[in-house]
Amino acid sequence: MRILVLILALLPGLAMADDKRVAFYAPPALVESGLIRHIAPRFSLKTQIKVDLVNDPAQAELLLGPEGRALFSGLGQVWHMELRSETKGAQRFADWLTSQVGARTIQGFAPEGTPIFTEPKVQEAAVARVEMTGDAVAGQGLSWAKCGRCHVTERGKGSFGIGSTPSFFVMRGFDDWQARFTGFYVLKPHAAFTQIAEVTDPFPVDRPSPIAPIELTLDELEAILAYVAILDPADLGKPLQHQ
Ligand code: HEC
């Protein structure tokens, strides 16, 4: 009997019904930004409810993503919250996220000194001008999260790029931008720190990545390409192709 109880407790689906925990999903860009690591302990400390980050949105009682109530903006998009369960843990976390304290905690997250997230904003007119596919929206967030350490990937986000590294807008201006973005991971300097799932070999044991590696799937790279495709190329002093 004991063993059965133990096994049941270990099954994630059943453990979810607990009042003292909430199965929570956040898209990778948000997790990688460090936001979840920032907010979850603060919520747990107050409520004694543990936030269990799940990898599969289908398993989540509460999730952040494109659907539901607009919660905050950042990384180039508006993030929404969707509550899918009535367990006490999930309700409390939803209440907290939508409370003033929750909003202040999210907006107070500033790993590099500058806050990343703000109140939810409707897409600006300049952005809305271009029809963004779902992929391009994802690509914008991914570009910022994965490449923004070195490249400027969005207008108005200059502070994150490294000055000597070409911005996405400049690179979009090259005739062969598509080829460059499709194969960037075999080019210097990226090969030393970039892994594409199921494509690249692991780093050689004697030459580990010198910096926190970039890890991407081919789908994610495609989303980045969809985003770069809709960028206005920076003016390189030659006529734009589409005019
Ligand atoms: C650690 C810093 C760093 C990161 C992170 C980084 N890049 Fe780069 N990237 C560079 C530098 C530096 C260059 C310029 C290389 C040169 O001038 O030869 C470059 C050049 C490029 C180029 C042009 C290559 C060419 O043909 O000349 C592309 C395309 C590119 N990066 C895409 C990306 C994408 C996509 C990401 C994110 C998934 C990314 N980079 C992340 C540093 C970085």
What is the domain-level CATH number for residue 62?
3.40.190.10
- Domain membership flag for residue 223: yes
- Domain membership flag for residue 41: yes
Whether residues 55 and 97 share a domain: the answer is: yes
Identity of the residue numbered 195: Q
List per-block mean pLDDT (blocks of 10 residues) for the chain, which spans 243 residues.
51 58 94 94 94 94 89 88 92 94 94 88 46 77 90 71 77 87 87 89 87 91 91 61 43
Which residues lie below 8 Å from residue 94, measured CB to CB, with a gap of 6+? 62, 81, 83
Instruction: Give residue for tokens 């779902």.
Output: 134
Q: Which of 107, 137, 166 is the last residue of a domain?
A: 107
Does residue 151 line the site of ligand 1, with CB under 6 A?
yes
Which residues lie below 8 Å from residue 184, measured CB to CB, with a gap of 6+? 190, 194
Which of these, 91, 109, 144, 131, lies nearest to 38 by C-alpha position?
109
Q: Which of 44, 78, 107 is the last residue of a domain?
A: 107
Tokens of 201: 């070999």
Ligand 1, pocket-test mutation among 170, 190, 199, most atoms within 8 A of CB: 190
Identity of the residue numbered 35: L
- Domain membership flag for residue 167: yes
Whether residues 132 and 89 share a domain: the answer is: no
Query: Which pLDDT belongs to residue 40?
Result: 96
Nearest CA to ligand 1 atom 25: 180
Please give the model's pTM, rounded to 2 decimal places: 0.52
Whether residues 70 and 132 share a domain: the answer is: no
Domain of 188 in residue numbering reads as 125-229
Whether residues 10 and 56 share a domain: the answer is: yes
Query: Which pLDDT belongs to residue 18?
Result: 67
- Domain membership flag for residue 117: no
Does residue 221 line the site of ligand 1, with CB under 6 A?
no
**190: CA distance to ligand 1 center in Å?**
6
Contact (Cβ atoms closer than 8 angstroms) between residue 111 and residue 122: no
**96: CA distance to ligand 1 center in Å?**
39
Total domains present in the chain: 2
Whether residues 147 and 224 share a domain: the answer is: yes
Whether residues 129 and 103 share a domain: the answer is: no
| Cα–Cα distance, 90 to 20 (Å, whole number) | 9
Does residue 170 line the site of ligand 1, with CB under 6 A?
no
Whether residues 183 and 216 share a domain: the answer is: yes
- Domain membership flag for residue 120: no
Query: Which pLDDT belongs to residue 21?
Result: 94
Nearest CA to ligand 1 atom 3: 150
Does residue 92 line the site of ligand 1, with CB under 6 A?
no
Encode burial over 153-190: b for 16+ CB neighbours within 10 A, e otherwise: bbeebeebbeeeebbbbbbbbeeebeeebeebbeeeeb
- Domain membership flag for residue 165: yes
Whether residues 49 and 142 share a domain: the answer is: no
- Domain membership flag for residue 32: yes
Does residue 84 line the site of ligand 1, with CB under 6 A?
no
Whether residues 144 and 215 share a domain: the answer is: yes
Query: Which pLDDT belongs to residue 17?
Result: 52
Contact (Cβ atoms closer than 8 angstroms) between residue 24 and residue 51: yes
- Domain membership flag for residue 116: no
Q: Which of 107, 140, 173 is the last residue of a domain?
A: 107
